Amino acid sequence: MLKWNYRKGLRWKLTVSIFALGVFIMLTVLQRQLIYFPSKAQADVLSELASRMGLQVWRDNAGEAIGWKSPGDPNACYRMLVFHGNAGYALNRGYFVTGLRALGNQWDVFLFEYPGYGARGGTPSEVNFKTTATQALEALLAIDSRPVFIIGESLGSGVASFLASTFPNKVAGLLLITPFPSLADIAAYHYPFLPVRALLSEHYDSREALSHYQGPVAFLLAGRDEVVTSELGQQLYDSYSGPKWLHIEAHAGHNTLPYDPAAPWWGEVATFLTSTEKGSLK
């Protein structure tokens, strides 16, 4: 009987070990497929959709389409650069354009498209996102001297925080929506039984990035966020030492935040960012 129990226990341990090894290999080899969920579409289809939304194609200095922009308004004194989350494509985030337009004609809005998303070629990765985002911001800064603010939604909050740390005297302020301290913190929450911090090749360490920035940062969290818990967003907020603003939508989930342009937080965020605008812009 003891021998049988020993063999049974050994088989159980072996089964668990094989399962754990399989998950380990999956997370190591396929982690980018588990992080990025791009939607693809033809350029002409997206152009037609953008036209109905009142947007134009945004091209870089080489003529490549890198996103979408609102028609330039001569009265707009601020620019907002938007980095969306890990799913869909940029035109799915028209609510940012609508929300800012509802505040008046102060904002020109630019929706950045990631490599591998929409009609844009390339492969989704942290390196590619950060490299192309840097190029996009540099292109905007070269056009004129109007302040550039950045919205980072979910995964995009990692890109936004990176740009703030790279251009601390050029980024006027941030709005981080459902942000996280680092991608490893999310992975550790969802996979507490795995050494995810050692496995991840993608990091998006916003806590570290924001330690090199002192401009105004607004935080918008979802109280019932099932993907990035509000506790993780709170941790990032608590760790930031610069001017900050926090709003938690208590009953919202990760994808159910109230983006209605009539939502009061739009005006509150705009007032906070523009009134606390980083004074060392060069």
Write out the chain's pLDDT in tens, 282 residues.
Answer: 545 555 555 566 555 555 555 555 555 556 778 899 999 999 999 999 999 999 999 999 889 999 999 998 888 999 999 999 999 999 999 999 999 999 988 999 999 999 999 999 999 999 999 999 999 999 999 999 999 999 999 999 999 999 999 999 999 999 999 999 999 999 888 878 777 777 788 999 999 999 999 999 999 999 999 999 999 999 999 999 999 999 999 999 999 999 999 999 999 999 999 998 654 443
Three-state secondary structure call for residue 253? coil
Tokens of 2: 């003891």
Average pLDDT of the residues of the chain: 90
pLDDT digits (tens, 9 = 90+) for 149-159: 999 999 999 99
Query: What local confidence, expressed as pLDDT, does residue 26 receive?
Result: 58
Query: What local confidence, expressed as pLDDT, does residue 195 receive?
Result: 76
Three-state secondary structure call for residue 268? helix
List, in order, residues 6 or more apart from 227 with CB less than 8 Å away: 154, 178, 186, 254
The model's pTM is: 0.89
pLDDT digits (tens, 9 = 90+) for 82-117: 999 999 999 999 999 999 999 988 999 999 999 999
pLDDT digits (tens, 9 = 90+) for 211-223: 999 999 999 999 9
Calculate the alpha carbon distances from 111 to 76, 135, 156, 253 in Å.
16, 14, 11, 23
User: What CATH number labels 38-275?
Assistant: 3.40.50.1820
CB 54 within 8 A of CB 70: yes
Domain ranges of the chain: 1-35, 38-275
